[in-house]
Chain A
Amino acid sequence: MSTAVFTYSLHLADNALILGQRNSEWCAHGPVLEQDIAITNISLDLLGQARNFYQYAATLYNQFSSEEKESVDRLVPALWKTYNRDLEEDDLAFLRVEHQYLHLLITELPNGDWAQTILRQFFFSAFQQLLYTELQKNSDEQLAAIGEKSLKEVVYHLRWSSEWVIRLGDGTDESHKRIKKAFGELWMFTGEMFVPSSYELVDTGNLKGNWEQKVKEIFDEALLLSTIEDDLGVKFQKGGKEGKHTEHLDYILSDMQYLQRAHPNSQW
């Protein structure tokens, strides 16, 4: 059971870390100062959630028996093993390689324009809100506590991103065109959220109906409902939860892990 909690914590941490990293690319590049601050604040919340999950995963791992350690060995960074010390949150974030990451593909996609970033945040926040609502009832106390804590932040992200989807969809011809295009880029990556994997401790398949309802509600207000109906038959992409990623992840990791790769085990 606790090896499942370890793997699941990594999955939840990776989701938050990779999207947080992506959003942080907007820092000093946002369309206006206030929204630059908004998207980087969301990054900060996601980074905080990632840290909580990584810290918990590291704590669990350090208490594992040798059999348990062996069973999750494929997820543990090789470089850390040369350090001869307990596993720490930063090792999990900065030393793993592509196939050891378990996040959803949608989080690693490039930002695109503002509309694409907004729409991804909305899809993801709507999902995270449902997920954390369930997670806070989990029998694992620490997972439940992180879910409860994070949920309050996610509600705020959801409100902000929903408002922006409506603002862009029901805005100018240009903004409407752009968010429609963003939909075409992103929709095929939303299905993965609800495809269960062996280590998940919340049945994400059950969240699908409520998620679709939320999306339709916001799309209706954003004058985008016809867009969603045109694309319902699309073939969904998956693989991220099992460590199969797009080429985009390599670029994220080479940026994000540079310092720890160039100067192993450095601290500041």
Chain B
Amino acid sequence: MVEEQTNINVTAEQKIWKILGEVKDPEVPVLSIIDLGIVRSVNTSNGQVAVNITPTYSGCPAMDVIQMDIRLKLLEKGYKNIIISQSLSPAWTTDWMTEEGKRKLKAYGIAPPNPKQQFCSPEMFQQEAVQCPRCNSFHTEVISRFGSTACKALYRCLDCKEAFDYFKCH
């Protein structure tokens, strides 16, 4: 009986995960919040849905919108008793972004983050090998370490000459 109860919960939770896959990052609308890796846990018990998320950056203004979008999406699917919480630890890292998410980013024209172990240190003037999302050249240079949102840096491709956003390693 206990086991059966667990199975029911697992299926119910899988359903929620699937629904959360429809909630987009408002600043990078090709990514779902699952692709982004910010959903930390989903829990269904006693008719309640509890979703725990973690912010990408402390000041990310999208977090409030994302919380509201999660709520609206779950309400739309008929869930009523919804609790959304935030946790800060362990701190989000770009390594939690899905491969699917990285593929979508590149198709959208944003260079996906390099793996963390490759480059993510306080060392100065390092040039990271970032691939141009348009022509695939690694012959690129940084324009600015900061870009249009907290999670991005600005790069330029020296082959196709296009400027592009890089979802920076974090």
Contacts and interface: CB of A to CB of B under 8 A. Distances in A.
A46 interface: yes
Contact of A41 (B90, B91, B92, B146): B146
B59 A47 contact: yes
23 contacts: A38-B145, A38-B146, A41-B150, A44-B61, A45-B57, A45-B58, A45-B59, A46-B59, A48-B55, A48-B57, A51-B59, A52-B58, A148-B89, A148-B90, A149-B88, A149-B89, A156-B145, A158-B122, A159-B123, A159-B124, A159-B145, A163-B125, A166-B124
A223 interface: no
Scoring A144, A145, A149 by chain B CB atoms within 10 A of each residue's CB, the highest score goes to: A149
B14 interface: no
Contacts of B124: 159, 162-163, 166
A160 interface: yes
Nearest to B142: A34
B41 to A, nearest CB: 15
A121 interface: no
B122 A149 contact: no
B87 A145 contact: yes
Interface in B88-104: 88-93
Contact of A150 (B58, B122, B144, B145): B58
Range for the number of chain B residues in contact with chain A = 20 to 34
B60 A148 contact: no
Interface of B: 55, 57-61, 87-93, 121-125, 143-148, 150, 154, 170
Contacts of B144: 34-35, 37-38
Nearest to A146: B88
Nearest to B152: A41
Contacts of B87: 145
Interface of A is mostly: helix
Given A34-B154, A45-B150, A159-B122, A51 B89 contact: no
Given A41-B147, A42-B146, A52-B88, 6 more contacts: A35-B144, A48-B55, A51-B59, A129-B122, A153-B58, A155-B122
Contacts of B90: 148
Closest 8 pairs (CB-CB, A-B): A48-B59, A48-B58, A34-B144, A145-B89, A38-B146, A44-B59, A145-B88, A41-B146
Nearest to B59: A48
Nearest to B87: A145
Given A41-B150, A144-B89, A49 B59 contact: yes
A103 B167 CA distance: 33
